[in-house]
């Protein structure tokens, strides 16, 4: 149910009605909001007076600048300055002015100009001794002026504007010193308006209607000293009504406002602090603006009521108008929708034509649809013929692609076998290259070892030759030692003979020869021992000579053997060098062959991948051929669902019956 409601809500009829209604509601809401805003601006109270009070302050500042310009202009009158400078004594009567220089006459002329231009209530001119020149306000004397803080500041050289109370009367005044060409003060000028006059000028200019006047009053120390509400309430009652405890409150909507009740009339108000000069003091007062309060809600409801009633009536009219407009647009569209639904489901009658009535957008749409059906009928006839040709071509492509695919498969198998064989051969060549490299490394290592062995054998031969020479030298030294030992034996024999002879001679000597006989006996024993040792040395030397001769012979044999070994090692080293060169050359050739084989293997892999891609492409071609054939058959079947016969064939009643009847038809 929700889906049905949403579908109806999204229909063209609902959109038209909602669009018109929404635009009217938007216009109505905008009108109401703008009216409320404008009424709020026109009738709002309370804080709105603050900006008007600020406007009054701006007016006050402007008046202060204008009055300052006026008093400075008067102060620049050279004749007046000259006449004031001539009053050198405080005794006015003794300062007998001449007819050619009388400040009173000059001031009288200036007063006339000021009265005609500004109409001020306060116009005062004093000389350097603060004595008023000419006519002065009642009660103002030099002594009283000197006690005035406002006047003192002007006399000190300031151009000053503000609220001031002179002799009990409040003014808005401006004052300036008068100076001669040397800058010395020769007088003072004051110009001002009474507060009642000053406030009333602004109040009357605030609005043409008296009940909308922006009234002003000024309070100092709880007393009203200037007011535009004198006709409504006396100053004492006004001051009492302004006291916070006596103020009233008014509620409007959700807001509560503080108001003043003056008599039977309610006033909105706003206030700001304002200072005033009173005698020798500067006091703080309060400037208040008040306006009669108006009933905003009543006025707003009085204005909004007709707007809302008019808006409601317009809303009903817009809904009816939207319904009629939507009905006139939607009914013809239903005929188009019925036919397009049949076309969307398939099997639509392309010979159908929509009736054309009038020249509006719907008639133009009907003409465009009829032209589109003419083109579709021609297109579908051409598509039907093309579908037959596509089906035949697709069948031929499918057969050809199948044959191509079979050949590609056989080529792929052969190329795969070649690639496998090349890959195995490449691996074997790589291994052979690795073995050749290892053999070259071992041959190099063996050659280095043989070279080292040859060098060691040569060193051994040198050592053997040296040892043989040393052994020969040892044999010669042994022979010499034998000769020495033989000499020692001969000496020992002779010593024995001498000892024997000495013993014989000692025996002949008797007692005296006993000691000599002992020595001779010891010498005989020593000679025997030496002789015995000499014979042992001879025996040892004989063995040494025998061993030395054997060592010499063996050293000679070893030298011959070493020489033969050196020759054989040299021959082996040369053979190893030649073999190492051959192995290195074979290794280089194997490396080149391995690189070529690796390149062939990569090329075969690339060829194999290309063949596989070709095989995949041929498979895809076969698949696409079959798919194209099926699409041709499906296209032909789809086209045959649409009726594309003679355009004058009878039209189906379905879509045409949904169209609105022509004028005059039943």
Averaged pLDDT, 638-651: 58
Residue 660 binned pLDDT confidence (cut-offs 50, 70, 90): very low
- 69 or 414, greater pLDDT: 69
pLDDT computed for residue 96 by the predictor: 46
Residue 153 binned pLDDT confidence (cut-offs 50, 70, 90): very high
pLDDT computed for residue 646 by the predictor: 55
Which residues of the chain form CATH 1.10.287.950? 374-639
C-beta of residue 296 within 8 angstroms of C-beta of residue 44: yes
pLDDT computed for residue 9 by the predictor: 55
pLDDT computed for residue 639 by the predictor: 67
Distances (CA, A) of 425 to 197, 416, 431, 594: 126, 14, 10, 9
* Residue listed under structure tokens 């070994």: 565
Grouping H, G, I as helix, E, B as strand and the rest as coil, residue 119 is coil
- 567 or 144, greater pLDDT: 144
Tokens of 3: 């889906």
Quick one: what percent of the chain has pLDDT higher than 90?
20
Q: State the angle between helix axes of 78-86 and 103-117 in degrees (0 to 180), rounded to the nearest 10.
A: 140
User: For 47-293, CATH number?
Assistant: 3.30.450.20
Phi, psi of 362, rounded to the nearest 5 degrees: -70, -40
- pLDDT tens-digit series, residues 241-265: 999 999 998 876 567 888 899 988 8
Q: Beta strand 265-278 with 255-262: parallel, antiparallel or unpaired?
A: antiparallel
User: How many angstroms separate the CA atoms of 296 and 252, rounded?
Assistant: 8
pLDDT computed for residue 272 by the predictor: 93
Tokens of 80: 């007046």
The DSSP annotation for 158-199 comes to --EEEEEEETTEEEEEEEEEEE-TTS-EEEEEEEEEEHHHHH
pLDDT computed for residue 161 by the predictor: 94
Grouping H, G, I as helix, E, B as strand and the rest as coil, residue 343 is helix
pLDDT computed for residue 652 by the predictor: 41
C-beta of residue 163 within 8 angstroms of C-beta of residue 281: no
- pLDDT tens-digit series, residues 345-382: 666 676 777 777 767 666 777 778 788 877 777 777 77
When mean pLDDT is compared across 88-97, 455-464, 513-522, 558-567, the lowest value belongs to 88-97
User: How many angstroms separate the CA atoms of 471 and 404, rounded?
Assistant: 97
Quick one: what percent of the chain has pLDDT higher than 70?
73
Scored b (16 or more CB within 10 A) or e, 552-565 reads: beebeebbeebeeb
Q: Is 656 a residue whose pLDDT tops 50?
A: no
User: How many angstroms separate the CA atoms of 611 and 411, rounded?
Assistant: 7
Question: Burial level of 151, CB count in 10 A (0-12/13-18/19+)?
Answer: buried
- pLDDT tens-digit series, residues 480-512: 777 777 788 778 778 878 777 877 877 777 776
Question: Burial level of 593, CB count in 10 A (0-12/13-18/19+)?
Answer: middle
C-beta of residue 123 within 8 angstroms of C-beta of residue 114: yes
User: How many angstroms separate the CA atoms of 171 and 163, rounded?
Assistant: 6
- pLDDT tens-digit series, residues 32-54: 677 666 655 555 544 678 889 99
Pick 374-639's CATH classification: 1.10.287.950, 2.60.40.10, 3.40.309.10, 3.50.50.60: 1.10.287.950
Averaged pLDDT, 326-337: 70
- pLDDT tens-digit series, residues 63-113: 999 999 988 888 888 888 888 888 765 554 444 444 457 788 888 888 888
Q: Is 663 a residue whose pLDDT tops 70?
A: no
- pLDDT tens-digit series, residues 537-568: 877 777 777 777 777 777 777 777 777 777 87
Query: In the predicted model, what is the mean pLDDT of the chain?
Result: 76
Averaged pLDDT, 408-416: 70
Averaged pLDDT, 111-137: 86
Which residues of the chain form CATH 3.30.450.20? 47-293
- pLDDT tens-digit series, residues 158-212: 999 999 999 889 999 999 999 988 889 999 999 999 999 999 999 999 888 888 8
pTM of the model: 0.43
* Residue listed under structure tokens 């042992």: 536
- 647 or 120, greater pLDDT: 120
CA geometry: angle 156, 161, 167, nearest 5 deg? 85
- pLDDT tens-digit series, residues 569-607: 777 767 767 777 776 777 677 677 777 767 777 777 777
Q: Is 271 a residue whose pLDDT tops 80?
A: yes
């Amino acid at each position: 149910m929700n889906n049905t409601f949403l579908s109806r809500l999204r229909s063209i009829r609902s959109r038209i009605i909602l669009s018109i209604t929404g635009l009217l509601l938007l216009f109505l809401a905008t009108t109401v909001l703008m009216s409320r805003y404008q009424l709020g601006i026109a009738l709002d109270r309370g804080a709105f007076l603050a900006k008007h009070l600020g406007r009054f302050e701006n007016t006050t500042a402007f008046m202060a600048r204008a009055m300052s310009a006026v008093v400075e202009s008067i102060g620049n009158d050279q004749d007046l300055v000259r006449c004031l400078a001539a009053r050198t004594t405080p005794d006015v009567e003794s300062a007998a002015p001449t007819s050619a220089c009388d400040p009173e006459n000059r001031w009288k002329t200036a007063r006339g100009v000021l009265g005609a231009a500004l109409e001020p209530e306060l116009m005062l001119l004093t000389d350097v001794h603060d004595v008023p020149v000419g006519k002065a306000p009642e009660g103002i004397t030099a002594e009283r002026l000197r006690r005035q803080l406002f006047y003192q500041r002007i006399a000190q050289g300031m151009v000053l504007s503000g609220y001031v109370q002179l002799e009990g009367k409040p003014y808005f005044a401006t004052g300036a010193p008068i100076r001669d060409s040397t800058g010395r003060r020769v007088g003072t000028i004051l110009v001002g308006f009474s507060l009642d006059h000053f406030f009333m000028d602004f109040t009357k200019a605030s609005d043409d209607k008296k009940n909308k006047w922006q009234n002003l009053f000024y309070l100092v120390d709880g007393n009203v000293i200037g007011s535009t509400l004198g006709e409504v309430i006396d100053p004492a009652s006004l001051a009492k009504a302004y006291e916070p405890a006596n103020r009233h409150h008014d509620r409007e909507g959700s807001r509560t406002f503080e108001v003043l009740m003056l008599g039977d009339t309610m006033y909105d108000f706003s206030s700001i602090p304002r200072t005033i000069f009173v005698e020798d003091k500067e006091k703080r007062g309060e400037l208040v603006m008040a306006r009669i309060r108006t009933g905003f809600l009543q006025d707003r409801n009085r204005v909004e009521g007709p707007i809302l009633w008019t808006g409601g009536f317009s809303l009903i009219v817009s809904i009816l108008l939207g319904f009629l407009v939507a009905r006139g647009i939607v009914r013809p569209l239903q005929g188009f929708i019925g036919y397009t639904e049949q076309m969307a489901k398939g099997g639509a009658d392309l010979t159908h034509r929509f009736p054309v009535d009038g020249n509006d957008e719907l008639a133009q749409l009907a003409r465009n649809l009829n032209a589109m059906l003419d083109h579709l009928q021609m297109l579908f006839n051409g598509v039907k013929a093309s579908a037959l040709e596509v089906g035949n071509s697709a069948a031929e492509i499918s057969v050809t692609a199948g044959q191509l695919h079979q050949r590609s498969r056989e080529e792929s198998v052969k190329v795969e076998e070649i690639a496998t064989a090349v890959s195995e051969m490449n691996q074997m060549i790589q291994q052979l290259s690795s073995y050749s490299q290892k053999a070259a490394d071992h041959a190099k290592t063996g050659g280095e070892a043989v070279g080292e062995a040859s060098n060691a054998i040569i060193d051994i031969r040198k050592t053997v030759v040296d040892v043989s020479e040393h052994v020969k030298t040892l044999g010669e030294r042994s022979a010499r030692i034998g000769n020495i030992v033989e000499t020692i034996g001969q000496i020992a024999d002779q010593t024995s003979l001498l000892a024997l002879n000495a013993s014989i001679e000692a025996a002949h000597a008797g007692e005296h020869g006993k000691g000599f006989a002992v020595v001779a006996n010891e010498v005989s024993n020593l000679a025997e021992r030496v002789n015995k040792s000499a014979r042992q040395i001879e025996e040892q030397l004989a063995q040494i000579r025998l061993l030395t001769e054997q060592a010499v012979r063996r050293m000679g044999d070893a030298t011959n053997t070493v020489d033969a070994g050196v020759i054989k090692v040299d021959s082996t080293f040369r053979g190893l060098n030649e073999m190492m060169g051959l192995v290195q050359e074979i290794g280089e050739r194997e490396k080149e062959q391995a690189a070529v084989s690796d390149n062939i293997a990569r090329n075969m892999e690339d060829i194999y991948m290309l063949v596989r891609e070709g095989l995949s492409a041929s498979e895809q071609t076969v698949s696409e051929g079959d798919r194209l054939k099926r699409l041709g058959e499906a296209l032909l079947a789809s086209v045959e669902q649409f009726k594309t016969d003679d355009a004058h064939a009878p039209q189906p009643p379905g879509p045409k019956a949904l169209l609105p009847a022509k004028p005059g038809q039943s």
